[in-house]
Amino acid sequence: MELGIIILIVLELLIYFGLAERVINKLGLSKNLLLIFFTLMIVGSFIDIPISSTPDISINLGGTIVPVVLAIYILSKADDNIEILRSLIAVIITGGIIYALTQIYQFEEGHTFIDSNYLFPIVAGVTAYLIGHSRRASFIAGTLGFLIYDIIHLIKITLGGVPGQAAIGGAGIFDSIVISGVLAVLLCEVVGEIFERLISDRKQEKQQEFNQQFTRPDVEFGSLTEDEKNNTEDDDNRREEENEE
């Protein structure tokens, strides 16, 4: 069984038992809807739609069409146009970085540090998070970034005269799409949660400092400090002595 399918099954179990409610809400999805999309991706990963025989071009249902539909739906839930623009830019940059890596990094058993099937989605996931920032943008960039790479590869085959075949969203790309998208969201969730807590704690500290500053007896409105009280008492005593004289 492919790694991407295993990851999706694990995610479905987590979602089913209610262990990912926060992330699902941040993505603007419902639990049942996400379960449906993940199931369609799993089933669709076994379905390749032929497009051309010369050159050999096909589109994987679970690795292309379903993720694109899911991405469009998530984008429709974006808070503003800036988030949509940032998501699209993140997709393009992530795809460009993946393509650049394929040109400079070739996996060789026993000679390279990490298999490209794991290196590329890790780099894509980190890139998607750094550019996307939000969970929605990170997920979209992580999943669709590999489709950008596939499209570049397709253009080279059809217009560039480079021999080969293109299985868009399939032939190992499916695993990378799943790993990249999940990693991007996890990074955003973990790092975002840390920053949110730090900001929240800082706000509480400032509020406490503000409350302490304006509730101290010596700075309450209409009250006097010790020195002011002593000066007032001295003035009163001086007036009494003058009156007696």
Model confidence at 60, pLDDT cuts 50, 70, 90, reads very high
96-100, 229-233, 235-239: least confident range: 229-233
Domain spans of the chain?
3-200
Mean pLDDT calculated for residue range 204-219: 65
DSSP single-letter state for residue 2: -
Helices then strands, counting H and E runs in the chain, come out as: 9, 3
Give the residues across from 60 on adjacent strands: 48
Mind listing the pLDDT tens digit for each residue in 73-95? 998 888 788 888 888 998 999 98
CA dihedral 33, 151, 84, 44 (to 10 degrees): 0
Instruction: Give CA–CA dist 170/61, Å, rounded.
Output: 9
Average pLDDT, the chain: 80
DSSP single-letter state for residue 112: S
Which of 203, 117, 100 is CA-nearest to residue 152?
100
Instruction: Look at residue 185 and tell me whether its pLDDT is greater than 60.
Output: yes
Q: What pLDDT does 241 receive?
A: 58
Report the residue count for the chain. 245
Mean pLDDT calculated for residue range 146-153: 86
